[in-house]
Amino acid sequence: MGRSPTIRDVARRAGVAVSTASLALNGRPYVSKETRFKVLQAAEELGYHPHSLAKNLADGRTRNLGLITPISLDHLFGSAGFFANLLSGMHRAAADHGYNLSLHIADSEEEAAACIRSLLRGRSADGLIITNPTSSCPYLEDLGRHRVPFVFIGRPLAKAPYVDNDNVEACRLAVRHLIDQGHLRIAFLNGPERFTFCADRLLGYRIALKEAGLPYDERLVWRSELVEAAAYSTVKELAPRKGFTALFAASDVQAVGAIRALRELGRQVPQDVAIACVNNSELAQHFIPPLTTVDLHEYWLGHWAAKRLVQLIQGERAHHPILIPGELVVRESSKGGDGGGKASCKPKES
């Protein structure tokens, strides 16, 4: 007594062999209805529950997905709230497929690489989700050697499976919205080019301009780190010299920094400058004026990352990237004069 019942106890009580009990318990074929019933009944009576470790060791699966973040969580993609949503979706998908999610937070890519090696060597995950790939990715070699499936969140430079926001389209949407408001000279405060999502966002900006027949003016494209202070000083320095009536920022905190700078330069938002940005955070929602942004749907980003990883684990060869569409949320910061609200998710084609 005390010790919890094992499959042997169940088998004994049901009067069958352990292997039969195993088959029955796992709902597998080749077990007669009555035998199955006896086994299930015995398990029920005994309060039997399989020991996960034993199961995992026996069949060689860990039922575990490792999430690796090679960067401080609140900088993940520029905003603090991003991570919570990402994780929720990821967890949901993992759980739906019977996988466990384990967390591995590193402060640098080197640390992440060490972490990955140790996971691979201990064979403690069936697959890995790695966020924020950069040009270096020091762990790629290890990943290749061990045959553990993985997906990136964010577009990697190397050829590898990944899931990402549709950054190009997201930005195209937002910029087109500004254009639709009648703006002809739209500045773009982008993030550092080392982030692939910033490159993609620039592309979306350019496409929107081109579609509207507006010229691309390099002098209107600025860059700052993804923090308020950096955005503030960049705009403070560069804004006075250029003529523009709207500004698109690559992240919400950058937008906020830009607004602070603009105010100090005597330009009000949205009256003098319309603002749109990416990242529908608490900040964007509650800032005064509330910010027009693209909601990146991080939940689904996480969800699909886990889902795709599970597919890879199951041997599917679906290697094309998955892009999660964003959704434009129109708020006061971009309003020329009157109303607005929430734009439809699917941008209509015209």
- The CB-of-72 to a copy of itself minimum distance in angstroms stands at 7
Of 302, 261, 238, the C-alpha closest to 77 is 302
Residue 124 is a binding residue for a copy of itself (CB under 8 A): yes
Binding mask 130-169 for a copy of itself (x = CB under 8 A): ----------------------------------------
Residue 253 is a binding residue for a copy of itself (CB under 8 A): yes
Please provide residue 29's backbone torsions phi and psi, each rounded to the nearest 5 degrees.
Answer: -70, -175
Residue 318 is a binding residue for a copy of itself (CB under 8 A): no
- Site stretch for DNA (CB under 7 A), options 50-58, 70-78, 244-252, 341-349: 50-58
Biggest CA pair distance of the chain: 87
- Site stretch for DNA (CB under 7 A), options 34-42, 160-168, 241-249, 298-306: 34-42
Give which of a copy of itself, DNA, none residue 199 binds (C-beta under 5 to 8 Å, depending on kind): none
Please answer whether residues 119 and 128 qualify as being in contact, where contact means their C-beta atoms are separated by less than 8 angstroms: yes
Cα angle: 27, vertex 150, 55; to 5 degrees? 30
Binding residues for DNA, total number by CB under 7 A: 31
CA distance 226 to 249: 10
CA distance 65 to 104: 11
Please answer whether residues 187 and 169 qualify as being in contact, where contact means their C-beta atoms are separated by less than 8 angstroms: no
Binding residues for a copy of itself, total number by CB under 8 A: 47
- The CB-of-43 to DNA minimum distance in angstroms stands at 9
- Site stretch for DNA (CB under 7 A), options 48-56, 141-149, 296-304, 342-350: 48-56
Helix (H, G, I), strand (E, B) or coil at 2: coil
- The CB-of-2 to DNA minimum distance in angstroms stands at 11
Instruction: Name the H helices within the chain.
Output: 7-14, 18-25, 33-46, 52-59, 80-96, 109-121, 140-145, 167-180, 196-211, 228-238, 252-264, 282-286, 298-313
CA distance 246 to 144: 46
Q: Amino acid letter at 170?
A: A
| Binding residue (CB under 7 A) for DNA from 27, 34, 215, 241 | 34
Residue 35 is a binding residue for DNA (CB under 7 A): yes
Please answer whether residues 162 and 156 qualify as being in contact, where contact means their C-beta atoms are separated by less than 8 angstroms: yes
- Site stretch for a copy of itself (CB under 8 A), options 168-176, 190-198, 249-257, 304-312: 249-257
Binding mask 13-32 for DNA (x = CB under 7 A): --xxxxxx-xx-xx--xxxx
| Binding residue (CB under 7 A) for DNA from 1, 2, 3, 241 | 3
Residue 54 is a binding residue for DNA (CB under 7 A): yes
Please answer whether residues 176 and 211 qualify as being in contact, where contact means their C-beta atoms are separated by less than 8 angstroms: yes
- Site stretch for a copy of itself (CB under 8 A), options 11-19, 74-82, 149-157, 322-330: 74-82
Residue 194 is a binding residue for DNA (CB under 7 A): no
- The CB-of-9 to a copy of itself minimum distance in angstroms stands at 15
Residue 230 is a binding residue for a copy of itself (CB under 8 A): no
Give which of a copy of itself, DNA, none residue 348 binds (C-beta under 5 to 8 Å, depending on kind): none
Of 135, 125, 91, 151, the C-alpha closest to 319 is 151
Of 174, 203, 83, the C-alpha closest to 131 is 83
Residues that bind DNA (CB under 7 A): 3, 6-8, 15-20, 22-23, 25-26, 29-36, 48, 50-51, 54-55, 57-60
